Amino acid sequence: MTNELEFHKGDSKNLIVTVVDGSGIAVNLTNYLVIFSMKANKKDTAYITQKKNLNAGGSESEIAMTDPTHGKVTIILLPADTSGLRNSGSDYVYDVEIRNGNVVKTVIDSTITLLDEVTTN
């Protein structure tokens, strides 16, 4: 499954993620920490943006637990998260990780391509 994203920098973007196990059954995320991280490349120590759900110390305005019993969350990217980044065609890396006790699993590991916007003011 590919999770490559492409959208205009500075746009609002809601990423709807449904987490399933190896059998395709939705994972109940009720007590999980959910973290979205975006960097210029994987080796960077600085995040361009990082979003967390309430359980992970973030808020519902960062990662909304849309339907946690059926594995569904919404990651909310705001215009400020990408508006100041490099020009068109720039690729970034991102992942989504879930944690519950000793369980840590990266459920998405992919790229985001940001396109230039025409309207800038």
Going by the DSSP 8-state scheme, the letter that residue 48 receives in this structure is: S
CA distance linking residue 20 with residue 7, whole number of Å:
25
**Could you tell me which of 71, 61, 83, 55 has the C-alpha nearest to residue 14?**
61
pTM beyond 0.85: the answer is yes
User: 57 in a domain, yes or no?
Assistant: yes
pLDDT in the model for residue 117: 78
Which residues share a beta bridge with 2? Answer: none
Counted domains in the chain: 1
User: 90 in a domain, yes or no?
Assistant: yes
Residue 51 near residue 58 (C-beta atoms within 8 A) = yes
pLDDT tens for the chain, residues 1 to 121: 468 999 988 999 999 999 999 999 999 999 999 999 999 999 999 999 999 999 999 999 999 999 999 999 999 999 999 988 876 677 999 999 999 999 999 999 999 999 887 877 7
pLDDT in the model for residue 2: 67
pLDDT in the model for residue 88: 65
pLDDT in the model for residue 1: 44
Domain span at residue 68? 5-115
pLDDT in the model for residue 84: 83
User: 121 in a domain, yes or no?
Assistant: no
User: 107 in a domain, yes or no?
Assistant: yes
Residue 19 near residue 107 (C-beta atoms within 8 A) = yes
CA distance linking residue 111 with residue 2, whole number of Å:
9
User: 120 in a domain, yes or no?
Assistant: no
pLDDT in the model for residue 87: 66
pLDDT in the model for residue 39: 95
> Domain holding 51: CATH number?
2.60.40.10
Q: What dihedral do alpha carbons 42, 110, 90, 41 form, nearest 10°?
A: 0
